[in-house]
Amino acid sequence: MRYCKKLVFGLLVFFVFFQSCEKDKINNESSDDGVFSVAVDSIVSDSLLLSVLEEEDAFRKMTKEGRVVDISGMDVVKENPKKVYAHYMPWFQSVEYDGYWGQHWTMANKNPDILDADGKREIASYYYPIIGPYSSNDPDLQEYHFLMMKLSGIDGVIFDWYGSKDVHDYDLIKQSTESFMERLDDLGMEFSIMYEDRAAEEVYNEGLATSIVEAATMDFQYIKDTYFNKLNFLEHNNEELMFLFGPSSITSTADWDSIFSVFPINEKPHFLTLWASQNMVGNSASGEFLWVAEDHLTAHEYYYDEYIGNNLITVGSSYPGFNSFYEEGGWGLQHDWSITHDNGNVFVETLNYTHHEAADFIQLVTWNDYGEGTVLEPTEEYGFLNLQLLQEYTGVSYVPQDLQVALDLYKARKEFKGNAAVEYYLNRTYKKIKQSELGRARLILRAVNRLYGSK
């Protein structure tokens, strides 16, 4: 299997490459057999690109194509067999899609309607998504994020989840989580739920339950009835696997035994708590997962030394850094420490941490928590850097040029929204990416941009 230690010296080269991709001066075209050739955009003739679209039209006459054609999955071969899951925040709203900017873009004092000199919106983060602030409910966003993950070797997502009741933005988060299900199915990705038990306390405080335990029990019943019946819910040793970011509000083992009574004795899931917390859950817990901590690799050393070999499920933690925006965003000082991103080196050292060999799988912390600055998705600051490093770690055959195809597809979705003719070609592009025919996908996008784009 491949690892990332050899990559650090190449980061400067990568940034130069990424800028060249953005300007599209020179495009690396890959054929489906993986052979690369270099073609300058200006020498690709209009007639050649027109023939590409004519071939796609001919296919349309033979079959009926829609946005999601089948649930065939996307087969990705990885040299590194270690499973990798991205912790995912489904809690964003945008004016374009939802009619308003959600609190995770604004916090208490930021206004994304304000643009700077470069056209970037004012958001509550030190980092800026390369596609700009977005809505978690947007199907274009969901397609883009999950294609990026597949092309980087990510096997699934762990949704941050706050329960089933309409308190604060919890119901919005639940709805957004469920809006991803079709795309997860279509790309063959697994998913799990990370429950926040402090949400149960909020539900109780709002008078929607007679106790915190009852509130959590209702949430666990919802998880069992709604998510466990999905074929792609994450399993470990043939049992469902879910997570608890805590416990923080429910700290009695008897209470957790009561909550877990919603599961038949022979159908109880694996349940992982935050590290150093399993004792508060007792026999209902199957292990603990590591998270980003102030003492950084010292926490890694303690976690692996303590838990590996004790018949507990162990989950490695990899992250690019930590830089909380909460105080600057007006939400108060919640962290008085940070971990520098160090141009990718922190992500490299957490990916390469020695004991990852013994961990059952890896949790990436996180895909898109902009408030805490643990962002792996492409940003203005780091481009594709994190995902390039992840491609090396997972050992996929894809390269950063392929990530650019997924980004270009997202941009084309937005530019040609409502143009039925072009949307058909974009649906075909998506299918070609799923089939790992990146060269063909790139050609279709180039044809669309050349022949339909603004002159």
Amino acid at 359: A
Per-residue confidence band for 58, with pLDDT thresholds at 50, 70 and 90: confident
Average pLDDT estimate for 130-141: 98
Q: Is the pLDDT of residue 441 over 80?
A: yes
pLDDT at 70: 54
SS3 66: coil
Q: Give the pLDDT of residue 92.
A: 98
pLDDT of residue 66: 52
What residues form DSSP beta bridges with 115?
Answer: 121
Confidence of residue 61 (pLDDT cuts 50, 70, 90): confident
Ramachandran sector of residue 276 (left: φ over 0; alpha: ψ -120 to 50; beta: rest) = left
Reported as a pLDDT band with limits 50, 70 and 90, residue 226 is very high
With CA atoms as reference, report the closest residue to 231 among 185, 194, 277.
Answer: 185
Distance CA(157)–CA(146), nearest Å, equals 9
The residue among 92 and 63 whose pLDDT is bigger is 92
Pick left, alpha or beta for residue 157 (phi over 0 → left; psi -120 to 50 → alpha; otherwise beta): beta
pLDDT at 17 > cutoff 50: no
Question: What is the token pair recorded at 262?
Answer: 């919603």
Give the side-chain half-sphere CA count within 13 A for 211.
7
CA gap 243, 18 in Å, rounded: 36
Residue 354, pLDDT above cutoff 80? no
d(CA 39, CA 29): 7
Q: Are 270 and 287 in contact (CB under 8 A)?
A: yes
Mean pLDDT of 211-229: 98
Strand partners, 121: 115
Q: Among 317, 383, 282, 367, which Cα is nearest to 11's?
A: 383
The listed CATH number (2.60.40.1180, 3.20.20.80, 3.90.550.10, 1.10.3720.10) that belongs to domain 84-399: 3.20.20.80
- Can you tell me which residue has the tokens 């274009």? 140
Please give the helix or strand (H or E) that residue 306 lies within, else none.
Answer: helix 297-307
Tell me how far the alpha carbon of residue 125 is from its chain's centroid: 17
User: For residue 381, what pLDDT is reported?
Assistant: 97
pLDDT recorded at residue 21: 39
Cα separation, 344 vs 11, in Å, equals: 8
Residue 344 above 80 pLDDT? yes
User: What pLDDT was estimated at residue 42?
Assistant: 54
> What is the model's pLDDT at position 8?
43
Q: Evaluate whether 316 touches 342 at the Cβ level (below 8 Å).
A: no
Residue 454: per-residue pLDDT:
75
Q: Residue 359: count other Cβ atoms within 10 Å of its Cβ.
A: 22
Averaged over 324-347, what is the pLDDT?
Answer: 95
Among candidate residues 379, 318, 375, 304, the one with its CA nearest the CA of residue 348: 318
Mean pLDDT of 204-213: 97
Quick one: pLDDT band at residue 63, thresholds 50, 70, 90?
A: low
Q: What are the DSSP calls for 337-404, one per residue?
A: --B--GGGHHHHHHHS-GGGGTSSEEEES-SEETTTTEE-S-BTTTBTHHHHHHHHHHT-S--HHHHH
Q: What is the pLDDT of residues 250-298, one digit of tens each?
A: 999 999 999 999 999 889 999 999 999 999 999 999 999 999 999 999 9
Name residue, tokens 């890896």. Answer: 362
Residue 294 near residue 340, CB atoms below 8 Å: no
d(CA 343, CA 381): 10
* pLDDT of 38 over the 50 cut: no
DSSP bridge partners of 270: 241
Token digits of residue 403: 């990530």
Cα-only R_g, the chain: 23
Share of the chain above pLDDT 70, in %: 87
What pLDDT score does 182 carry? 94
CA distances from residue 431 to 68, 107, 408, 409 in whole angstroms, order as listed: 9, 37, 14, 11
- Buried/exposed 371-387: b ≥16 CB within 10 Å, e otherwise: bbbbbbbbbeebbbbbb
pLDDT, averaged across the chain: 89
Residues 6+ apart with CB under 8 A from 149: 86, 157, 189, 367
Beta bridge partners of 38: 28
CA 203 to chain centre: 27
Strands (E), 162-299: 190-195, 235-236, 239-244, 270-274, 287-289
Q: What is the pLDDT of residue 448?
A: 97
Lowest mean pLDDT among 92-96, 166-170, 308-312: 308-312
pLDDT confidence band for 428 (50 / 70 / 90): very high
Break the chain into its structural domains and give their ranges: 5-71+403-452, 84-399
